[in-house]
Structure 1
Amino acid sequence: MPSKLTPAVSLLTLIAAIHGSAQAALFAVDQGQYSPQNGNFAQWYQDTHGRTLDLCLGKALSSRVPSTPGVPSYMCTLAVAAGVFDDNQPTVFPTNFPDEAFWFLADAAIPAAGATTLNLKYTAALEAAFGGGDPAPNDQISFARIRIRMDAVPGVYTITHPYGVEVFTVDPPTPNGNGNGNGGANGTKAINMTRDIGIGSPGNFTGALSGDLGPFLRSVNGPYTETDPTTGMASQYIGDPNLTEQVTGSPFNTNYVRVQGPNGLDVRTDVFGITGRLSTVVRPTPNIVQRATYSRKTGGQGNSGVQAQEDVFSLAPPPPGTAQFIDTDNSTVAMTEANGTGSWYGQSTANPTLPASLQITADNHLAIAQSTPTTVPHGLSDLVSIDTANYSLSSGQLTLVASTSDAAAASSLTATGSSGGAIGTLSGDGATKTLTTGISPIPPAKVTVTSANGGSDTEEVVIVP
């Protein structure tokens, strides 16, 4: 179970967050009103695959793994602590309430692997806790956590997990005995990373939406239905934390933890213990339009002599979910999804009349019966690419070369600096346009080129002699 937040962990988290490699894929959080029965936390979070998980506080037991004396096989991971939370008594906030609880928790482990590495512990969690440690009113916080702990000999390690890739360098001990080599007798780990994102002011639970977590991993064997003996209510769970099972749901299709390192080390596990209780709240289907662009060029067939296409990218629940859009010819275009990650793409051959807006719809009712379709309007724009952004120190000249995906129509491209100040207009007869202009004495750190048809690109300026 993840340990509660401490000031030391907070500092490590701040440093580690700078190097995060995953992409957030949580979609929404309960905005309240919050109930004392839930510890005044947000009731639910929803991921981009459409699954909504309640804060898991119940005492339903696994029907697959029997309880043992003193160790009940709860479907929710409950932080039992003397003087804080007694699971033999009713859960009452704040007098008998867990100091840690989870909307989602995934644990994995890799045991000893020869002399190179051993005892890897991996945690991905969407956690409820308290800023001061113990349960207290007006002190509720939430965060998305990625934690990796492992003993290791010196070398470079690449750890691939469901939500990203982390690279660690373990240094050899120095002559005075310092260093981050093999874990010592005090229990420290050579690799010890905790990245908590979302901790903000108490009672504000939106920060975790930007964490390195989601969509929620779920057992390939679930969902499981169990009844809470204290309430008589049945709930569904995306996994059983008393088991280790294969999972699905990684946004990168990496439903495993893999360690690659020195001496040919390459080990992995694809089984996890999963905690998560499905909510019964009715939520719309997540639908995040990532891009809606068009391109066209002369030489196409037909009366117009123009070859055109419209491209739409959207993040929405994977099949059996569906996605589609209405193009500028008012035709319905089915979108496709290839690998269960929820990344959808669709293309039309319509030739747009600008300005234009497309209607993109996602529907997930076949997977989650209570979900409702979501239609998102999104403006259609060309695609702009900066090919060159150089500043010469000797001449004081900034040179820009950029292109637009609209090669069949006159579309002006204008440049602005990182401070927002105008630089000038690029010129040229075709899709590629250029600008050379004097800027002195300080060049912009970045430059943005924007098309009259809505597209834009930003690049850092390369400084040359």
Structure 2
Amino acid sequence: MWYEDATGTRLELGWQTNDPLAPVVIDPAESGILRGVPDFPGESFYFSAETKIPLGGGDRKAFAQVILALEATFATGHVEDGQQIVFGRTRFRVRGGRAHSTYTLTHPYGTVEVTTDDRGRASDTQDIGVAPLSFADALGGRIAPFLRWTPDPTLPEGYIGDGTTEHTITGSPFNTDFALVEGPDAGTGGAARDPNDPGNPNKAYTDRFVVQGRLATLHGAEITRAVYHRAADGASTVEVFARSAPAQQLGLSLDGQPATPLEGGNGPRYFARIPVGSLLPTRLTVTNLTDAVALPVTVDVTDAVEITQADYDSTAQTLTVGAASSDRQGPATLTVTDGDEVLGPPGTFSLDAPPAAVTVRSSAGANTTTNVRVNA
């Protein structure tokens, strides 16, 4: 539904071909059907910032192109459910430059160096996040935080740029809200010179990018924890921890029952604690009722495991682990593991060296990990 940067800016996918402020949809003729959408594009963008700089020293039409994007497409090259990928892209191209020469680009997210071929061409592309359905992989790229126009009253609300007009930007984590190309006579092709080194003919500069990005209108919800507590007499409560954008109305449904509102909303955190008697639910659903399109999230309800002790005695070479389940009626079976190695139920283990951490798993579904404390 969205990607969020460290500033709290959330952008949704701009895939509709009729949005004039998010016009960058690649090859709309190669669209296909995706989950009921008849004309879903093969490539579209959450975020895009591009600029082109004329270069001197080579062909009279020489230029450098900079592309910074968070892009959505398909691993198979055509619209196919299950093959969706989202990747962060940084691309630097030189065309018509001086042959066999080095060009260095400083851009809002870092630097890139390329060497041209005998025709004055060079290209460097880094794409992070190209495994199908592994949408978190794109977070390992450079595209963060999102660039946006410097304040401009003409920009319609809900966008970070109009997708068409070159404009000054803000948002670089390195305070490099520009593109600077350094190379032989790069600054003699008509581009602006580096304002900090205006007499240098080997530098071409621009602080204007075409930026596209639409602020998310659907926020959904993320369930971060869903556990139950059951007393020995069977009386139970369910605790639900969730996250979303501030000021949302989240509803909780247990095993398909009518929704109960979650507390919170001043920040991104939401919470509910509901007595359920002896009828312990197995699944629960949280729905963002503020969204125009409801996208419910459903998870299994598990017990909660508390690790009360994880101590290694280096003299006796013993590891002692204590733990308890929130299910007091079961009781649930607990197992201590060190990675893939099963040590057994909580207790004392003879080990010639301690693990860095232990995990306690419950037969009711929960697991908790803690670092081991070493006693001399």
> Which TM-score bucket, shorter chain as reference?
0.5 to 0.7
> In the superposition, relative to structure 1, how do residues 438 and 22 fare at CA in structure 2: closer, same or farther (>3 Å)?
farther
Q: Is the 8 A contact 1:222 1:238 kept in 2?
A: no
Output one character per residue of 1:85-112: Cα deviation in whole Å (capped at 9) or x when no partner.
xxxx9xxxxx9884134569xxxxxxxx
Q: 1:350 aligns with which of 265, 270, 276?
A: 276
Look up the SS of the partner of 1:209 in the other structure: helix
Partner residue of 1:248?
none
In the alignment, the residues of structure 2 paired with residue 312 and residue 274 of structure 1 have an alpha-carbon distance, to the nearest angstrom, of 44
Q: How far did 1:236 drift?
A: 5.3
Q: How far did 1:81 drift?
A: 1.0
- Paired residues, what number? 264
1:136-215, aligned counterparts within 5 Å?
199-200=127-128, 206=135, 207-210=137-140
What's the TM-score, normalizing by structure 1?
0.44
Q: 2:326 aligns with which of 405, 413, 436?
A: 405
Look up the SS of the partner of 2:299 in the other structure: strand
Higher strand share: 2
In the alignment, the residues of structure 2 paired with residue 387 and residue 330 of structure 1 have an alpha-carbon distance, to the nearest angstrom, of 35
> In the superposition, relative to structure 1, how do residues 408 and 402 fare at CA in structure 2: closer, same or farther (>3 Å)?
same
In the alignment, the residues of structure 2 paired with residue 200 and residue 409 of structure 1 have an alpha-carbon distance, to the nearest angstrom, of 46
Q: How far did 1:43 drift?
A: 2.0
1:62-461, aligned counterparts within 5 Å?
78-83=50-55, 98-101=65-68, 128-130=89-91, 133-134=93-94, 199-200=127-128, 206=135, 207-210=137-140, 225=155, 237-238=159-160, 277-279=212-214, 285-297=219-231, 306=235, 308-319=236-247, 321-327=248-254, 330-340=257-267, 342-351=268-277, 353=279, 356-365=282-291, 371-418=292-339, 420-426=340-346, 435-439=347-351, 441-461=352-372
> In the superposition, relative to structure 1, how do residues 238 and 201 fare at CA in structure 2: closer, same or farther (>3 Å)?
closer
Amino acid at match of 2:354: P
In the alignment, the residues of structure 2 paired with residue 312 and residue 296 of structure 1 have an alpha-carbon distance, to the nearest angstrom, of 15
Look up the SS of the partner of 2:51 in the other structure: coil
In the alignment, the residues of structure 1 paired with residue 220 and residue 375 of structure 2 have an alpha-carbon distance, to the nearest angstrom, of 46
> In the superposition, relative to structure 1, how do residues 288 and 202 fare at CA in structure 2: closer, same or farther (>3 Å)?
closer
Q: Is the 8 A contact 1:100 1:127 kept in 2?
A: no
Look up the SS of the partner of 2:220 in the other structure: coil
Runs of 5+ unmatched residues, structure 2:
16-24, 29-40, 72-86, 96-107, 111-125, 172-207
Look up the SS of the partner of 1:378 in the other structure: strand
Q: Is the 8 A contact 1:398 1:436 kept in 2?
A: yes
Look up the SS of the partner of 2:298 in the other structure: strand
Q: Is the 8 A contact 2:360 2:369 kept in 1?
A: yes
Output one character per residue of 1:124-144: Cα deviation in whole Å (capped at 9) or x when no partner.
xx97421x5548xxxxxxxxx
Q: How far did 1:352 drift?
A: 6.0
What's the TM-score, normalizing by structure 2?
0.53
Output one character per residue of 1:308-359: Cα deviation in whole Å (capped at 9) or x when no partner.
321112222332x32111125934211133324x322222111465570111
Q: Is the 8 A contact 2:234 2:277 kept in 1?
A: no
Q: 1:35 aligns with which of 14, 26, 29?
A: 26
In the alignment, the residues of structure 2 paired with residue 211 and residue 379 of structure 1 have an alpha-carbon distance, to the nearest angstrom, of 32
Look up the SS of the partner of 2:54 in the other structure: coil
In the alignment, the residues of structure 2 paired with residue 224 and residue 128 of structure 1 have an alpha-carbon distance, to the nearest angstrom, of 28
Output one character per residue of 1:8-41: Cα deviation in whole Å (capped at 9) or x when no partner.
xxxxxxxxxxxxx96999798789xx7269xx99
User: Do residues 55 (structure 1) and 48 (structure 2) align?
Assistant: yes
> In the superposition, relative to structure 1, how do residues 216 and 296 fare at CA in structure 2: closer, same or farther (>3 Å)?
farther
In the alignment, the residues of structure 2 paired with residue 41 and residue 134 of structure 1 have an alpha-carbon distance, to the nearest angstrom, of 26
Q: Is the 8 A contact 2:53 2:64 kept in 1?
A: no
In the alignment, the residues of structure 2 paired with residue 449 and residue 222 of structure 1 have an alpha-carbon distance, to the nearest angstrom, of 54
Q: Is the 8 A contact 1:325 1:358 kept in 2?
A: yes
In the alignment, the residues of structure 2 paired with residue 423 and residue 24 of structure 1 have an alpha-carbon distance, to the nearest angstrom, of 43
Q: Is the 8 A contact 1:44 1:103 kept in 2?
A: yes
